[in-house]
Amino acid sequence: MSRKKLQKLTDTLTKNCKNFNKFEVKCLIDLFYNLVGEVTERQGTTIGLDRNAFRNILHMTFGMTDDMIMDRVFRGFDEDNDGYVNVSEWIYGLSVFLRGTLEEKMKYCFGVFDLNGDGFISKEEMFHMLKNSLLKQPSEEDPDEGIKDLVEITLKKMDHDHDGKLSFTDYEQAVREETLLLEAFGPCLPDPKSQMEFEAQVFKDPNEFNDI
């Protein structure tokens, strides 16, 4: 990418992204192109991180291990659903992922947990996510029963309108009352240590910039 084009991209993304300053946006753009590698820009070709490359970053950098959650995080970043996270999606996604307000993080997490995108987190979706994120206890005769009980307990705590599923309004009210419920169905945000390490590595002098 030419210097002029890079400057314009940095300016545009900085203007539209309130959680990062210009220097940080420039560092994240550098990192993006580092991760994507040397790709020739051609008309009609998408330059971006595919699902596997993106999941690798989530796993290696932020310690995520749940395949289902990582897929949903990828979809959360990939706003145009073209199968790639492009440079703008990378910046806007990381803006919420690393520094989002509670409101931004609630919308993001709810979108991750709403597996079929119908605007609700159903009992079935809760069951799948909790089953994935809980350690299997070999002594349990029927581990599914314990998960079903957990789903019922969660619904009792979070389903304010008692319709057997969670709307965003239910979820928001529950999280505002108890912020630990933000990631109730699985870790989809970086823990503070991973976040600090990532930012310390990436937001260095671009001249000393290394791949993470």
Q: What is the pLDDT along the chain (212 residues), one digit of tens a residue?
A: 678 888 999 999 999 998 999 999 999 999 999 999 855 555 456 689 999 999 999 999 999 999 999 999 999 999 999 999 999 999 999 999 999 999 999 999 999 999 999 999 999 999 999 987 776 555 556 778 889 999 999 999 999 999 999 999 999 999 999 999 999 999 999 999 999 999 999 998 544 545 44
Say yes or no: 195 and 94 in one domain.
yes
Q: What is the pTM of this model?
A: 0.87
- How much is the pLDDT for 15? 94
Same structural domain for residues 91 and 195?
Answer: yes
Please count the residues of the chain. 212
Number of domains in the chain: 2
Residues 96 and 138 in one domain: no
Q: Does 140 share its domain with 109? A: yes
Same domain, 96 and 170: no
Identify the bridge partners of residue 120 per DSSP, sorted by sequence position.
167
Kindly calculate the radius of gyration of the chain based on its CA atoms and give it in whole angstroms. 19
**List of E strands, 76-125:** 84-85, 120-121
Q: Which residue has the tokens 């823990």?
A: 191
Confidence at residue 89, expressed as pLDDT on a 0 to 100 scale:
97
Whether residues 129 and 84 fall in one domain: no
Asked if residue 80 and residue 20 are part of one domain, the reply reads yes
Domain that holds residue 79: 3-100+191-208
- 3-class secondary structure, 26: helix
DSSP state of 46: P
Domain check: are 36 and 92 in the same one?
yes
Residues 9 and 71 in one domain: yes
Q: CB within 8 A of 30, min separation 6: which ones?
A: 206, 209
